Amino acid sequence: MAVDDYRFEHPELAPAEKLRLNNLSNQLSNISTRFTLEDVGNVIASIKGEVNQIKNVSAQAKNMLARLNTVSKVVQASRQLSLWVCRLKAEMSAGSWGN
């Protein structure tokens, strides 16, 4: 911080002046921290709606993926069943079913 830089660059300052500058530096640091925290809080508040929207869309996407996974399993089972039925028909036509 510039106040600290000045204080360290001027060793000839009186102890009272060094103390005053140190206190001023601490006050400025505290004010800066307060403004930074307020700004961060304002940014968080301003994006809260978007964050909630992202959460909702993510939940919907997760549900859709679960449904798609279920549909994929049904399609795979249907293919297996279809292949089994085709084989069964072929065996029945060939007269080899049950032998």
Residue 24 lies in a domain: yes
pLDDT along the chain (99 residues), means of 10: 89 94 95 96 94 96 96 95 92 76
The one-letter amino acid code at 1 reads M
Residue 18 lies in a domain: yes
Tell me the three state secondary structure of residue 60. Answer: helix
Residue 41 lies in a domain: yes
Residue 99 lies in a domain: no
Give, in degrees to the nearest 5, the angle at Cα 46 between 43 and 52: 115
pLDDT value at residue 94: 84
pLDDT value at residue 70: 96
pTM: 0.51
Provide the number of structural domains found in the chain: 1
